[in-house]
Amino acid sequence: MKTIIQIISLLFLFSSLAQASVAQSPSVYEDSSGNIYIQSPKQFVLIAGDINLPLHVYPTMGLLKLRYSNGQWTREVLSESQFRAIESQLQLSASLTERLRWQDIDGDGIRDYVLFTDASSYHDASLISVGTKSGAIRALKLPSGTNLANNYQLTDVNGDGRLDVKSGSEVFLASANGTFLYTGQGAVEPASKIDTTAGSFRVDETGQATYTVPVTLPKGPGGITPSVSISYSSAAGVGNAGYGWNVAAASAITRCTKNIATDGKQQAVRMQKSDGYCLDGNRLLLVSGTYGAANSTYRTELSNFMTIKAIGTDSSNTGPKGFIVESKDGDTKYYGDTSLSNDSDAFVKPAGSSAKGAHTWALKQVSDIFGNKITYHYTTNTSLGYHLLNYISYGKVKVDFDYTDRNTRQYGYAHGGKVANVKRISGIEVTRGGEAYRYYNINGDGSKHDYIDSIQECTSFSADKSCKYALTFNYKKDTSDVGFAVAANQTSGIRTTTLLTDFNGDGRSDFLYTNSTGKVLSVKIAGHDTDVITSNLKSVNDFKLADVNGDGYTDIIYAQTSGSTTKWYAKAYQPATQTVSDMICDDGVQPYGAELMHADYLEQVQSAETVSSEAFSQPASLSRTQLQGRGICYPHEYVERLSFSSAVALTPGYSSSTMFVDIDGDGLSDWLSSYGRKLAYRKNIESDNALGRDYGALDYFYEFSTADFSPDRNNEGCYSSHSIERKFTKSADINADGVSDFIVRLKTTYSPRYQGVPGCSTTAYKDKLLLSKGTDEYSKFDYDFSGVEDIRFADLNGDGLSDLVFAKDSGWQYRLGTGNAAAPLQSAKSLSILSAKMGTESYRGNVHFADVNQDNIADIIALNHTRVVLREGYCRWVGDGQPHGIEPEVPALAEEVTTTSWRNCGTGYIWVDTTYTDGMQATVWTGKTTSATSIGYTEIKLGSGLRGTAHTLKIGDIDGDGLVDVLRSSTAATSNATFAHYRNTMLSASVASHKLTKVTTGFGVETDINYKKISDSAVYTHLPAFNTLGKVNANFFSPKFGMWLVSSVYSDSNGSGSSAQQVGVKYKYSGFKIDKLGRGPQGFYEIETTDPQTNIKTTTRYHQSWPLTGKPQFTKSYAIRQRPGPGLWCT
């Protein structure tokens, strides 16, 4: 009977279990704090024993709590009792339950969870997956503009065996780690044609990886066809199609900066006729007519046999209305407003400003000799400030460009108007006669950097399209946000005199500091021993940093006293002087011996019958001194050995208010002085001393009039004297022309003309901005900086213009640069993220501006004012006799806290309030623009709060990873300092972040790209440019940090998958040069490639002087023998 009862009981149990588990799916709940709870159906489990017992239990991960905190989703597994305890407080969410998918997404045979949330006050809109076997939770913040519907599907979109999320045209591809990657509209489609999207890879002459996808276009009438391509470069940043990617389709003439190399002087764009003009980046030179006027004609600086004619004059008389370009093949191109119909969209004015002239004349039409036309159409948003190519039409063909919102947007100013980079090209549609012809999907990954994961060629964008296999791309992706971790402490001398800079160009900050007496100035090069610069420093304020020798790296200038004489000296960390006879010099056309290129022989060379005058290609306005350094000299053999030069006594006399500026835009540090109402400078000139440079005769370059100063008070019996307040003179390149601009405080000192005149012993100030109009010319502006104690320059909105940031006792304020020559700075606004206390003397010196997260926006790093606990509140005994207990000895806390829970004091006690004092908290605020004028900040605290204000904050790159680190010291002011080091952890120093690392064709053929830092001797040999004196050539910069170069490339040749055979090429480079006078990068001196399959090594040497920049001098190839012996040369 007992057995029968057990059987009946089991039958009832099985029945109930069956009913309970029929086709059930998980339910989703929410609580009042926005947390999400997943409840899966219970499962039937049979427990084996004498009598098998069936149980109805929740599966592993059957009860989950999903919580959103600090930008991340976390999961917590709940027991049944924990869930039951809170179940009454939960609200069933019908929408989240509908969105939940319970399927196996990682191929382990166990169903996982997928759901998405909307944005709320508790969490971001997110797509979440939870692996029920691994327990891993992955979440993707949904990009703005995405439109996931509740009826989305889990399906394998791209055939990789993983379930992707698809909702209409929205696709999120599943990755191997469970994260979904947003591809945007137009995801990779299954190939319906046995072909692959075409593309070509190469390593260019600058050592960068490039990839080009041509866009197939049908021929128009007479065979006329525009050129459209999608191209990648590992040197590019944010492109118009994605990170590193740009669509090349149009052309434009723009205003551009004049430079010394072409014009003999620097000059920014001023929206005037005298501006420089560039055709697709190539400078235009006047051939006939009046520069900038109607009917004037031009050619490109490197002639390509085109005739360029200016058409009309804009209504404000600031330049042409358009240009007509006739090429040697008979095509005629129309730029801007040339009186064609509907061509106003090609005349691009500064957005949101009153300017009537154009800063860009976009290509509007191309006509061949038979009258066949290609027309370009644009769309403009003047409120935000963008101008985009909309479509191209020719014959019956139309090429449309589809755009989507960027996930990271940029706003700012240029030419006095707004600019915005908020869209990227997501697809290119080609139709012929209204019928679909081609569609190119440019599929982004949805991350903040808009990496392009694939490009696929299809016949159309419609559902019945036919597609080729897609090209797919892999990168060293890094979407991490900035963060800081405690690293090893750093040591220095006196903290208040410590400066951080890079003396040897290795990317790591070196330390310069004094001892406690202020007499010994020492430098500690990272990874090297400490050097004493001088043991007789004039004072702790008498050492400065500038690039004196012109090599692009920081030098030390210091005042040293000997007896009663004080002089300025300089030392540079530089290579030894080269022997002239051991060098070969190149003037840009052919190499000469060093003695021929020396200045003493310059006139002979220029007049020599055997040397063409075109070889020098210099404007007549260039000085003999400028010409002297133009030739580049290279040692036949060079081994890098750097050390500090011997001390060089500089020509200028001692003055404590010395400043270094660039008056003429040649990239060299000139010596600024002031005398009375005049500003003067000494030019940085070539010398035969150990540095190769010194300072020339005093040259007055600007004089203020008496009307610029505060008014005289002669009628009040006061005598007036005028001077420039040297200590307040500030300099920066505000208009981005390469020439220093100045903020100058003019001082008027009043004194009584005769005894007894009241109110005359006073001073008055007026402030002026001198904005460069070009070398030796300035525009003058009045700005009120009364009460301002500190002025800084920083790019707060990332538009490439210097903004003004300044401190008063009432707090920090800023003025944004506009790029407008007539009104260069906006009105002052409060930098409200910094409290008023931060503008006071105790705090403002520890405020820094630098880009800590590599978004081109200057962030704020500071010791922020805070209130720290001096003594915690407590209950104090005031009764008779002994207290009932011991009064608490409470240690001071690091940060201000509330202590109300201690206020319930017993009989005989009174409450003594917590006392606080001013303190400092190391803090980073990262900036982000939401419009041209709006900047928001996110706060990151480093460490804990500190009592008092006797602390110092420094910034630098301690580990050479290209990121800003933070150093904080509280060491006594008279002792050698120890700095707490907060290392920036945003990127890995050993990884070529954001670079393309693999290209896979539709047939599975892989090309792997490897990179090394330019500082790695395995891929690059540093070779400085020398001049004919054997010293560093100050007209060129030879970087040895900050670049990644392609070191090797391997591609599949035979087989596939793990059995694929690869062939490859290894690369090595030397002698990269940058012309500082306006020509820019001149490429490498030599590039060496090695074929590992054949052991053939090929070396190509290149010209590095304009106009032959980048052209090979010669190429040689030879076989590398496996055993010792001479190589086989094949030239």
DSSP string, 631-675: SEEEESS----EEEPPPEEEEEEP-TT-EEE-SSSSSS-EEEEEE
Q: Which letter does DSSP use for residue 352 in this model?
A: T
Q: Phi first, then psi: what are they for 890, rounded to 5°?
A: -100, 125
Q: List, as one string, the DSSP characters of 542-598.
A: -EEEE-SSSSSS-EEEEEEEETTEEEEEEE-EEEPPPPGGGEEEE-SSSEEEHHHHS
| CB 799, CB 421: distance < 8 Å | no
**pLDDT tens by residue, 750-764:** 999 888 888 899 999
- The mean per-residue pLDDT over the stretch 981-1009 comes to 91
Q: Phi first, then psi: what are they for 841, rounded to 5°?
A: -60, -35
- Report the range out of 100-109, 189-198, 277-286, 559-568 with the highest average pLDDT: 277-286
Q: What confidence tier does 479 reach under pLDDT thresholds 50, 70, 90?
A: confident
Residue 758: cis peptide before it, omega within 30 degrees of 0:
no
Cα–Cα–Cα angle for 713, 714, 719, rounded to 5 degrees: 85
Over 70: is that where the pLDDT of 897 sits?
no
pLDDT of residue 49: 52
Over 80: is that where the pLDDT of 623 sits?
no
Cα–Cα–Cα angle for 532, 537, 542, rounded to 5 degrees: 115
Query: b/e for 218-251, b at 16 or more Cβ within 10 A?
Result: bebeeebebebebbbbbbbebbbbbbbbbbebbb
The Cα–Cα gap between 631 and 1061 comes to: 47
88: helix, coil or strand?
A: helix
Cα–Cα–Cα angle for 1046, 1052, 1056, rounded to 5 degrees: 145
**pLDDT tens by residue, 1018-1074:** 999 999 888 888 888 999 999 988 899 999 999 987 655 555 678 899 999 999 999
Q: Residue 22: how many CA atoms within 13 Å on its side-chain side? A: 6
| Selection from 172, 79, 84, 62 nearest residue 125 by Cα | 172
The Cα–Cα gap between 59 and 41 comes to: 8
Cα–Cα–Cα angle for 232, 234, 238, rounded to 5 degrees: 70
Q: Enter the tokens of residue 864.
A: 């922020």
Who's near 203: CB < 8 A, 6+ residues apart?
Answer: 209, 210, 1046, 1049, 1065, 1067
Q: List, as one string, the DSSP characters of 203-253.
A: E-TTS-EEEEEEPP----GGG-----EEEEETT--B-SSBBTEEEE---EE
| CB 683, CB 652: distance < 8 Å | no
pLDDT of residue 77: 85
pLDDT of residue 157: 67
**pLDDT tens by residue, 787-826:** 998 999 999 999 999 999 999 888 999 999 999 999 999 9
Tell me the residue ranges of DSSP E strands in 134-184.
137-141, 153-155, 164-167, 170-174, 180-182
Q: What confidence tier does 1102 reach under pLDDT thresholds 50, 70, 90?
A: very high
* Dihedral Cα 200, 203, 204, 205, nearest 10 deg: -150
Q: List, as one string, the DSSP characters of 1019-1039.
A: TEE----B-TTSSB-TTEE--
| Selection from 207, 204, 211 nearest residue 1016 by Cα | 207
- The mean per-residue pLDDT over the stretch 962-968 comes to 95
**pLDDT tens by residue, 61-80:** 888 888 887 667 888 888 88
Helix (H) / strand (E) element for 748: namely strand 741-752
Least confident of 336-350, 919-933, 1019-1033, 1082-1096: 1019-1033
The Cα–Cα gap between 666 and 1076 comes to: 7
Look at phi and psi of residue 91 and say left if phi exceeds 0, alpha if psi is from -120 to 50, else beta: beta
Helix (H) / strand (E) element for 842: namely helix 841-844
Hunting for tokens 């001479």 — which residue is that? 1126
| Selection from 184, 977, 943, 866 nearest residue 511 by Cα | 977
913: helix, coil or strand?
A: coil
Who's near 978: CB < 8 A, 6+ residues apart?
Answer: 489, 490, 491, 969, 971
pLDDT of residue 492: 95
pLDDT of residue 88: 85
Helix (H) / strand (E) element for 1082: namely strand 1080-1083
Q: List, as one string, the DSSP characters of 872-895.
A: --EEEE-SSSS-SSPPP-PPPPSS
515-524 contact pairs (CB < 8 A, 24+): 515/976, 516/974, 516/975, 518/494, 521/556, 521/558, 522/493, 523/556, 523/644, 524/492
Provide Rg for the chain, Cα atoms: 35
Over 70: is that where the pLDDT of 1105 sits?
yes
Q: What confidence tier does 16 reach under pLDDT thresholds 50, 70, 90?
A: very low
- The mean per-residue pLDDT over the stretch 170-187 comes to 60
Cα–Cα–Cα angle for 754, 757, 762, rounded to 5 degrees: 105
- For the chain, give the number of residues: 1131
| CB 297, CB 309: distance < 8 Å | yes
Q: Enter the tokens of residue 608.
A: 């020599």
Q: Enter the tokens of residue 813.
A: 């304020």
Work out the widest C-alpha separation in the chain, in whole angstroms: 132
| CB 631, CB 1027: distance < 8 Å | yes
Over 70: is that where the pLDDT of 540 sits?
yes
Over 50: is that where the pLDDT of 19 sits?
no
The Cα–Cα gap between 442 and 197 comes to: 12
Mean of pLDDT over the chain: 85
Look at phi and psi of residue 562 and say left if phi exceeds 0, alpha if psi is from -120 to 50, else beta: beta
Tell me the CA distances in angstroms from 1026 to 234, 317, 552, 1033, one per residue in order.
Answer: 29, 46, 13, 4
pTM, two decimal places: 0.79
Over 90: is that where the pLDDT of 848 sits?
yes
Q: Enter the tokens of residue 1075.
A: 């012309």
Per domain, the residue ranges of the chain are 2-151, 250-443+458-464, 1006-1130
Over 70: is that where the pLDDT of 1121 sits?
no
87: helix, coil or strand?
A: helix
Hunting for tokens 């694939």 — which residue is that? 454
89-96 contact pairs (CB < 8 A, 24+): 89/31, 89/32, 90/29, 90/30, 90/31, 90/37, 91/29, 91/30, 91/31, 92/27, 92/28, 92/29, 93/28, 93/29, 93/30, 93/36, 95/150, 96/28, 96/30, 96/36
Over 70: is that where the pLDDT of 612 sits?
no
Name the residue with higher pLDDT: 1123 or 229.
Answer: 229
The Cα–Cα gap between 533 and 125 comes to: 58
Cα–Cα–Cα angle for 114, 120, 126, rounded to 5 degrees: 30
